[in-house]
Amino acid sequence: MQTHEIRRRFLDHFVRAGHTEVPSASLILADPNLLFVNAGMVPFVPYFLGQQTPPFATATSVQKCVRTLDIENVGITTRHNTFFQMAGNFSFGNYFKKGAIELAWSLLTSSVEDGGYGFDPERLWVTVYLDDDEARQMWLDMGVPAERIQRRGMADNYWSMGIPGPCGPCSEIYFDRGPEYGAEGGPEADEDRYLEIWNLVFMQNERGEGRGKDNFEILGPLPKQNIDTGMGVERVAFLLQGVDNVYETDLLRPIITKAEELTGKSYGIEHADDVRFRVIADHARSAAMLIADGVNPGNDGRGYVLRRLLRRIVRSARLLGADQPVMAAFMKVVSELMSPSYPELGTDFTRIETVAVGEETAFLKTLATGTKLFDDAVAEVKTAGGARIGGAEAFTLHDTYGFPIDLTLEMAAEAGLQVDEDGFRSLMAEQRRRAKEDAQARKHAHADLTIYKEFVDRGPTEFTGFDELTSEATVLALIADGVRVPVAQAGTQVEVILDRSPLYAEAGGQIADRGTITADGLKVRVDDVQKIAKSLWVHKTTVEQGQLTEGDVVVAQADPAWRRGATQGHSGTHMVHAALRQVLGPNAVQAGSLNKPGYLRFDFNWQGALSEQQKADIEALSNDAVGADYPVNTFVTDLPKAKAMGAMALFGENYGDEVRVVEIGGPFSMELCGGTHVQHSSQIGPITLLGESSVGSGVRRVEAFVGLDSYRYLAKERALLAGVASSLKVPSDEVPGRVEQLVERLKVAEKELERTKVAAVLAQGAKFVDDAERIGSVLLVAAAAPEGVGAGDLRTLATDVKGRFGSEPAIVVLLGNADGKVPFVVTVNKAAQDLGIKAGDLVASFGPSIAGRGGGKPEMAQGSGSDPSGIAAGLTAVRARVVELAG
10 Å CB burial of residue 363 (0-12, 13-18, 19+) is buried
Mean pLDDT, the chain, whole residue set = 88
Rounded (10°) CA dihedral 860, 864, 870, 873: -10
Which is nearest to 574 in space by CA: 641, 648, 643, 636?
648
pLDDT of 247 over the 80 cut: yes
Residue 757 CA, chain-centre distance (Å), reads 48
**CA–CA separation, 25 and 30 (whole Å):** 11
How far is the C-alpha of 296 from the C-alpha of 303, rounded, in Å? 5
On the question of pLDDT at 15 being above 80, the answer is yes
Dist. CA 521–CA 145, nearest whole Å? 76
Averaged pLDDT, 566-589: 91
CATH fold of 563-715 reads Threonyl-tRNA Synthetase; Chain A, domain 2 (3.30.980)
- Per-residue model confidence as pLDDT tens digits over 399-431: 666 666 766 886 787 678 888 888 888 887 776
Q: Which residues contact 735 (CB under 8 A, 6 or more apart)?
A: 721, 724, 725, 728
pLDDT band at 443 (very low <50, low <70, confident <90, very high): very low
CB-facing half-sphere around the CA of 257: CA atoms within 13 A: 11
Q: Report the percentage of the chain scoring pLDDT > 70.
A: 94
Tell me: pLDDT of 437 over 80. Answer: no
Residue 214 CB neighbour total at 10 angstroms: 12
- CB of 453 closer than 8 Å to CB of 52: yes
CA distance 567 to 570: 5
In a 13 Å sphere around the CA of 328, the CA atoms on its Cβ side amount to 7
- Rounded distance between C-alpha atoms, residue 156 and residue 184, angstroms: 19
Nearest Cα neighbor of 446 from 90, 203, 207, 202 is: 207
Task: Check whether 439 has a pLDDT greater than 60.
Answer: no
pLDDT top residue among 500 and 651: 500
User: pLDDT tens for residues 599-638?
Assistant: 999 998 887 789 999 999 999 999 999 999 999 999 999 8
Residue 5 has pLDDT above 50, yes or no: yes
The 3-state secondary structure of 553-606 reads EEEEEECHHHHHHHHHHHHHHHHHHHHHHHHHCCCCCEEEEEEECCEEEEEEEC
Contact 71, 308 (CB under 8 A): yes
Per-residue pLDDT averaged across 41-68, rounded? 89
Rounded to whole angstroms, the Cα distance separating 182 from 28 reads: 38
| Predicted confidence (pLDDT) at residue 787 exceeds the cutoff of 80 | no
Virtual CA dihedral for 329, 330, 332, 337, nearest 10 degrees? 140
Residue 131 gets which letter from DSSP? T
pLDDT, residue 887, reads: 64
- Around Cβ 325, how many Cβ atoms within 10 Å? 14
Is the separation of the CB atoms in 446 and 163 below 8 Å? yes
Distance (Å, whole) CA 782 – CA 787: 15
58 versus 32: the higher-pLDDT residue is 58
Gap between the Cα atoms of 784 and 789, Å rounded: 10
The topology (CATH level 3) of 3-243 is BirA Bifunctional Protein; domain 2 (3.30.930)
pLDDT (average), residues 526-539: 92
pLDDT band at 31 (very low <50, low <70, confident <90, very high): low
Nearest to 238 by CA among 250, 224, 223, 256: 250
In whole angstroms, what is the distance from residue 830 CA to residue 559 CA?
A: 77
Name every residue whose Cβ is closer than 8 Å to that of residue 589 and which is 6 or more positions away in sequence.
Answer: 351, 581, 604, 605, 648, 651
On whether the CB atoms of residues 700 and 692 are closer than 8 A, the answer is yes
Strand order from edge to edge, sheet including 599-605? 590-596, 599-605, 699-706, 687-696
Looking at the predicted structure, is the pLDDT value of residue 856 above 90?
no
Mean pLDDT of the 451-465 span:
90
Cβ neighbour number for residue 666 with a 10 Å cutoff: 10
Q: Which residues contact 118 (CB under 8 A, 6 or more apart)?
A: 109, 110, 111, 112, 240
Could you tell me which residues are beta bridge partners of residue 782? Answer: 813
Q: How deeply is 73 buried, as exposed, middle or buried, from its count of CB atoms within 10 A (0-12, 13-18, 19+)?
A: exposed
Supply the pLDDT for residue 176. 96
SS3 state of residue 690: strand
For the chain, give every domain's residue range. Answer: 3-243, 253-442, 450-558, 563-715, 764-886
Confidence band of 257 (pLDDT split at 50, 70, 90): very high
Is 65 within any annotated ligand binding site? no
CB 203 within 8 A of CB 48: yes
User: Residues of 478-511 as b/e, b for ≥16 C-beta within 10 angstroms?
Assistant: bbeeeeebeebeeebebbbbbbbbbbbbeebbbb
Say if residue 80 carries a ligand binding annotation. no
At residue 218, does pLDDT exceed 50?
Answer: yes
Q: Given this model, what pLDDT does residue 338 score?
A: 96
- Tell me the CATH architecture of domain 450-558: Beta Barrel (2.40)
Is the predicted pLDDT of residue 432 greater than 70, yes or no? no
pLDDT over 70 (residue 436)? no
pLDDT score for 33: 66
Q: Mean per-residue pLDDT for 808-827?
A: 90
Closest CA to 92 of 49, 40, 48: 48
pLDDT at 63: 95
* Closest CA relative to residue 395, chosen from 428, 359, 443: 428
With 60 as the cut, is the pLDDT of residue 789 above it? yes
Identify the helix (H) or strand (E) that includes residue 494: strand 493-498
Distance of CA 70 to the CA centre of its chain: 17
pLDDT band for 434, please (50, 70, 90 cuts).
Answer: low
Q: Is 155 exposed, middle or buried (0-12, 13-18, 19+ CB in 10 A)?
A: exposed
The response to whether 167 counts as a known ligand-binding position is no
- Axis-axis angle for helices 301-319, 327-338 (nearest 10): 110
Please state which CATH class domain 764-886 belongs to.
alpha beta
pLDDT classification of 327: cutoffs 50, 70, 90: very high
DSSP 226-275: EEEEEEEHHHHHHHHTT-SSGGGSTTTHHHHHHHHHHHS--TTS-HHHHH
Q: What is the pLDDT of residues 123-154, one digit of tens each?
A: 999 999 999 999 999 999 999 999 999 999 98
Give the span between the Cα atoms of 199 and 189, in whole angstroms: 18
Strand 462-463 to strand 687-696: parallel, antiparallel, or no bridges (unpaired)? unpaired
Going along 345-406, which residue ranges are E strands? 388-389
Q: How many residues does the chain have?
A: 887
45-49, 238-242, 319-323, 753-757: range with lowest mean pLDDT: 753-757
Q: Please, are residues 345 and 292 in contact by the beta-carbon 8 Å criterion? A: yes
Q: Which of 251, 297, 259 is nearest to 276 (CA)?
A: 259
Helices (H) and strands (E) in the chain, counts: 26, 35
> Which amino acid does the sequence have at 471?
S
Interaxial angle between packed helices 301-319 and 271-292, expressed in degrees from 0 to 180 and rounded to the nearest 10: 140
Residue 384 — very low, low, confident or very high, per pLDDT cuts 50/70/90?
Answer: confident
